């Protein structure tokens, strides 16, 4: 069975992290996000994959090539305009024959879930939708089942009829393509796969299958932290770098080639220390943290449940918790990131001028690339800082800070 991965989106909802990097290449648990999906497909027994690319698609091609390094054969298709999931799947018709797996490029799905989905397809002999159970189904496409068959689909209903939602993972046969061709545009101007599946249900049974394990939809920047923790959970630690005597590694910690951990450092896994990174001396790195290549965590610093991207420096007396720092950022000495409201309510962020409840009790800063922070600055919980911004000494950052801003 072949697979298609839909990874053409521009990732505007992930800004500022995607200002310079396409969403599929955002680093999560030490690897580009898309690589986790490709590895899961390979582990599920799939060897031929076609990837739909769009904005900065050349970078995705350059990153994965023909797939040889992953044990895959990878082909690519370019989507000039993003016109909905049905349109995206329709673009892939020349890359499949017979039944195929379709995976949205912004979901975390395990190889175990894919194996189970394929087994269910073989059992029922009919198209299958992967389903997830969530507490807030009104934000997704809600699915109703009867005896395992899909009998209802509704996009973002005000009053959901179930807690099962469309997980963005499917197994279709080639008869989906003629139905895609006749799918009308929805009120929001897109060709919706749920409309196509509705037409398919009129011709044959479509089954729903609750995917085992954790399912994560990475739609907003803070979703990366949940994905990072989930993908780090099965990590097996090993040391390929230089760990000085007097440094402590607890649990599963992966030290990549060329990384250096100085004495007095205390690192708790699951954590990845990227190639060429420098840790310590005398710092504390807590679980579910990914330190990127050539990044630095220095003296008297603490980093917890965070992603530090390539060449970012947290060098002197800093605290960074539940945060994502883009590439080549630098925190001045004494910079502190708040990650918890004093009332301990869920952290809210300002997104395009609208306050959004993240549902997270702890969330620090989402920082774009090339942000520079002066000494003794403070950053409020739920702050978003655009790329190439500058926070002066003693600055206090909060809310949504536009790219290339200057805060004093």
As annotated, the active-site residues are 316
Kindly tell me the sign of the dihedral angle through the C-alpha atoms of 7, 12, 14, 20: positive
277-301 b/e (C-beta count within 10 Å ≥ 16 → b): bbbbbebbbbbbbbbbbbbbbbbbb
Give the chain's largest Cα–Cα span. Answer: 67
> How far is the C-alpha of 301 from the C-alpha of 38, rounded, in Å?
35
Q: Is the bond preceding residue 346 a cis peptide, omega within 30 degrees?
A: no
112-143 b/e (C-beta count within 10 Å ≥ 16 → b): ebbbbbbebbeeeebbbbbbbebeebeebbbb
Q: What is the DSSP letter of 297?
A: E
Determine phi and psi for 405, rounding to 5 degrees.
Answer: -80, 160
Q: Which residue has the tokens 């943290």?
A: 289
Three-class SS state of 237: coil
Chain center to CA of 241: 27
CB atoms within 10 A of CB 337: 28
Give the 3-state DSSP-derived string for 95-162, with helices as H, strands as E and coil as C: HCCCCEEEEECCEECCHHHHHHHHHHHHHHCCCEEEEEECCCHHHCEEEEEECCEEEEEEECCCCCCC
DSSP string, 177-193: HHHHHTPPPPTTSS--H
């Amino acid at each position: 069975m072949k697979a298609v991965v839909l990874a053409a989106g521009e990732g505007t909802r992930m800004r500022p992290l995607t200002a310079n990097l396409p969403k599929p290449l955002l680093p999560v648990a030490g690897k580009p996000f898309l690589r986790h999906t490709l590895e899961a497909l390979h582990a599920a027994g799939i060897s031929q994959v076609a990837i739909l690319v769009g904005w900065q698609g050349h970078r995705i091609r350059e990153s994965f090539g023909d797939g040889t390094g992953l044990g895959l054969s990878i082909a690519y298709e370019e989507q000039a305009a993003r016109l909905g999931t049905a349109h995206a799947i329709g673009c892939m018709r020349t890359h499949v024959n017979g039944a195929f797996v379709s995976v949205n490029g912004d979901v975390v799905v395990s190889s175990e879930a894919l194996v189970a989905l394929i087994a269910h397809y073989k059992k029922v002999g009919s198209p299958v939708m992967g389903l997830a159970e969530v507490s807030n189904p009104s934000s997704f496409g809600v699915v109703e089942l009867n005896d395992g068959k899909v009998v209802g689909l509704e996009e973002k209903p005000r009053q959901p009829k179930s807690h099962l939602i469309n997980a963005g993972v499917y197994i279709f046969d080639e008869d989906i393509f003629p139905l895609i061709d006749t799918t009308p545009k929805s009120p929001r101007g897109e060709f919706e796969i749920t409309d196509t599946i509705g037409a398919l249900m009129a011709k044959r049974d479509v089954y729903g299958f609750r995917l085992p394990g954790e399912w994560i939809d990475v739609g907003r920047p803070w979703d990366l932290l949940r994905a990072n923790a989930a993908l780090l959970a099965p990590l097996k630690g090993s040391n390929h770098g230089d760990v000085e005597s007097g440094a402590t590694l607890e649990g599963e910690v992966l030290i990549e080639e060329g990384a250096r951990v100085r004495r007095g450092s205390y690192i708790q896994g699951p954590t990845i220390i990227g190639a060429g990174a420098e840790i310590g001396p005398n710092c504390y790195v807590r679980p579910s943290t990914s330190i990127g290549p050539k990044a630095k965590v220095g003296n008297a610093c603490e980093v917890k449940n965070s992603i530090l991207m390539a060449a970012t420096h947290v060098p002197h007396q800093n605290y960074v918790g539940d945060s994502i720092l883009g590439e080549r950022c630098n925190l001045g000495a004494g910079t502190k990131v708040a990650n918890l409201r004093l009332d301990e309510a869920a952290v809210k962020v300002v997104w395009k001028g609208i306050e959004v409840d993240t549902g997270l009790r702890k969330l620090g800063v989402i920082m774009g690339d090339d942000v520079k922070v002066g000494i003794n600055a403070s950053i409020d919980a739920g702050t978003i800082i655009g790329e190439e911004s500058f926070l002066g000494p003693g600055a206090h950052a909060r809310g949504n800070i536009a790219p290339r801003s200057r805060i004093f």
